[in-house]
């Protein structure tokens, strides 16, 4: 390849990378506005950002948001432009069919889902929604692709956000069967159906508490609240992880769950809870052999104690960091000395 060709490829790669980074920034800002319920500002942000060369993900994100807040005409306009830019996108097509259905145009929705299936015969989203729109069943904005109107689905009333009330109405075998069904539905969801992922994981947690899937759903749900929201939904991260640790105290997820919970407590400013976790951690593992592990934990524990006004206790832990450092002048030891000097 000649030099000019190589330069052209590099420029194209840099241009694509720049577009993706810009899209990511818009999505972050848009989700933050959504979480703050500033829907008009979010809509303006997305519509101003969308260009003919915008990424498929940005079109999907914008249209999904507009559909979620029932601004269907605006969502359809975004999808039509997105499909001009990305004519082979089955995600955009599926979302377009869903919006058509929400607007009451089942005939147009059916044609769109049939087009998706002509491109991808195994597309489960299109299959299930095609069946739904042809049956004439009315589906609200909070429901999903499954069209599931079984007695089992109707009988489930989720607890309020941040609350987990488990039920043992089903036997263990029935719980396992339901959990498998719910996970199968999640495997068939489009990636933009964040709300439905959250609903299904919560249903696993509350209705299938005797299964391994319930523990896994606690962790996955914390991922969704931590990584799928911008800014992270720390209150819900904390709620689901506290439930995990209370319901499954011997879980294999214990170390990761406690580390994430500590981080969430710290970011949320819930320092009393953070102190409690560190006290429990040092009771369980009072003297880690690895010096670095001990110093990091002890320094963070001292900082938490300082934040709640227990300066004398904090000084004890800062001193332990310095002693464990053994004159190596580590970053942790320097920080501990600074804290002691300021007390």
Distance between CA atoms of residues 98 and 67, nearest Å: 9
Distance between CA atoms of residues 166 and 219, nearest Å: 16
pLDDT at 17 over 80: no
Tell me, yes or no, whether 165 and 251 share the same domain: yes
Distance between CA atoms of residues 299 and 239, nearest Å: 26
Tell me, yes or no, whether 250 and 291 share the same domain: no
pLDDT, tens digit (0-9, with 9 covering 90-100), for 296-334: 999 999 999 999 999 999 999 999 999 999 999 999 999
pLDDT at 175 over 50: yes
Which of 205, 294, 210 lies closest to 242, judged by CA?
A: 205
Alpha helices, DSSP H, located in the chain: 3-35, 39-49, 56-68, 72-85, 90-102, 106-119, 124-135, 151-154, 172-187, 194-207, 212-227, 234-247, 254-268, 271-284, 291-307, 311-325, 331-342
CATH classification of the domain holding 18: 1.25.40.10
pLDDT at 343 over 80: no
Is residue 150 in some structural domain? no
Task: Read off the pLDDT band of 24 (50, 70, 90).
Answer: confident
Domain edge (last residue) among 268, 302, 323: 268
C-alpha distances out from residue 48 to 44, 96, 295, Å? 6, 20, 49
Tell me, yes or no, whether 18 and 120 share the same domain: yes
CATH classification of the domain holding 160: 1.25.40
Work out the average pLDDT over 272-292.
91
Distance between CA atoms of residues 109 and 118, nearest Å: 14
pLDDT at 15 over 80: no
Is residue 147 in some structural domain? no
When divided into structural domains, the chain yields a total of 3
Tell me, yes or no, whether 105 and 35 share the same domain: yes
What does the pLDDT read at residue 315? 96
Tell me, yes or no, whether 217 and 242 share the same domain: yes
User: By the 8 A CB rule, do 219 and 242 touch?
Assistant: no
Is residue 29 in some structural domain? yes
Is residue 4 in some structural domain? no
Residue 9: what are its φ and ψ, rounded to 5°? -65, -40
pLDDT, tens digit (0-9, with 9 covering 90-100), for 101-143: 989 999 999 999 999 999 999 888 888 889 888 886 544 433 4
Query: Hey, what are 263's tokens?
Result: 């981080």
Contacts 24+ apart (CB under 8 A), 96-105: 96/63, 97/126, 97/129, 97/133, 98/67, 98/129, 99/63, 99/67, 99/72, 99/75, 100/76, 101/129, 101/132, 101/133, 101/139, 102/67, 102/70, 102/72, 102/139, 102/141, 103/72, 103/76
Is residue 125 in some structural domain? yes
The DSSP result for 45-106, as a single string, is HHHHH--TT--HHHHHHHHHHHHHTT-HHHHHHHHHHHHHH-TT-HHHHHHHHHHHHHTT-H
Domain edge (last residue) among 135, 166, 191: 135
Tell me, yes or no, whether 165 and 183 share the same domain: yes
The domain of 263 spans 156-268
Is residue 295 in some structural domain? yes
Q: What angle do CA 255, 333, 307 make, to 5 degrees?
A: 65
What does the pLDDT read at residue 258? 92
What does the pLDDT read at residue 269? 94
Tell me, yes or no, whether 26 and 129 share the same domain: yes
Work out the average pLDDT over 51-64.
90
**DSSP character for 229?**
S
Work out the average pLDDT over 40-53.
92
Is residue 123 in some structural domain? yes
Is residue 2 in some structural domain? no
Tell me, yes or no, whether 294 and 331 share the same domain: yes
Tell me, yes or no, whether 110 and 167 share the same domain: no
Task: Read off the pLDDT band of 189 (50, 70, 90).
Answer: confident
Tell me, yes or no, whether 118 and 172 share the same domain: no
Tell me, yes or no, whether 309 and 213 share the same domain: no
Tell me, yes or no, whether 330 and 225 share the same domain: no
Distance between CA atoms of residues 103 and 71, nearest Å: 10
Domain edge (last residue) among 268, 286, 313: 268
Query: Hey, what are 332's tokens?
Result: 């942790």
pLDDT, tens digit (0-9, with 9 covering 90-100), for 215-258: 999 999 999 999 877 788 999 999 999 999 999 999 999 989 99
Query: Hey, what are 61's tokens?
Result: 């994100």
Which of 35, 22, 101 lies closest to 65, judged by CA?
A: 35
């Amino acid at each position: 390849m000649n030099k000019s060709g190589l330069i052209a490829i590099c420029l194209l790669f840099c241009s694509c990378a720049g577009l993706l980074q810009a899209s990511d920034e818009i999505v972050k800002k848009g989700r933050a506005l959504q979480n703050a319920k500033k829907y008009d500002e979010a809509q303006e942000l997305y519509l101003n950002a969308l260009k003919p060369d915008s990424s498929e993900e940005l079109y999907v994100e914008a249209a999904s948001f507009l559909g979620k807040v029932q601004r269907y005409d605006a969502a359809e306009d975004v999808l039509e432009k997105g499909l001009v830019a990305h004519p082979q996108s089955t995600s955009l097509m599926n979302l377009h069919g869903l919006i058509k259905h929400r607007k009451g145009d089942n005939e147009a929705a059916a044609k769109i889902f049939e087009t998706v299936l002509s491109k991808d015969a195994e597309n489960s989203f299109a299959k299930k929604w095609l069946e739904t729109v042809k049956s004439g069943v009315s589906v609200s904005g909070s429901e999903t692709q499954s069209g599931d109107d079984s007695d089992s689905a109707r009988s489930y009333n989720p607890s309020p956000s941040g609350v987990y009330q488990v039920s043992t109405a089903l036997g263990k075998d029935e719980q396992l069967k339901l959990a498998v069904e719910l996970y199968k539905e999640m495997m068939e969801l489009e990636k933009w159906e964040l709300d439905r992922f959250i609903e299904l994981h919560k249903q696993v947690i509350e209705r299938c508490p005797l299964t391994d899937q319930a523990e896994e759903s606690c962790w996955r749900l914390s991922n969704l609240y931590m990584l799928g929201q911008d800014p992270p939904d720390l209150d819900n991260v904390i709620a689901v992880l506290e439930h995990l640790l209370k319901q499954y105290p011997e879980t294999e997820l214990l170390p990761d769950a406690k580390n994430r919970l500590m981080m969430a407590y710290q970011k949320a400013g819930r320092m009393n809870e953070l102190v409690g976790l560190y006290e429990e951690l040092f009771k369980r593992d009072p003297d880690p052999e690895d010096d670095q592990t001990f110093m990091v934990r002890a320094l963070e524990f001292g900082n938490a104690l300082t934040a709640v006004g227990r300066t004398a206790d904090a000084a004890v832990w800062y001193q332990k960091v310095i002693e464990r450092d053994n004159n190596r002048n580590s970053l942790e030891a320097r920080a501990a000395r600074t804290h002691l000097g300021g007390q």
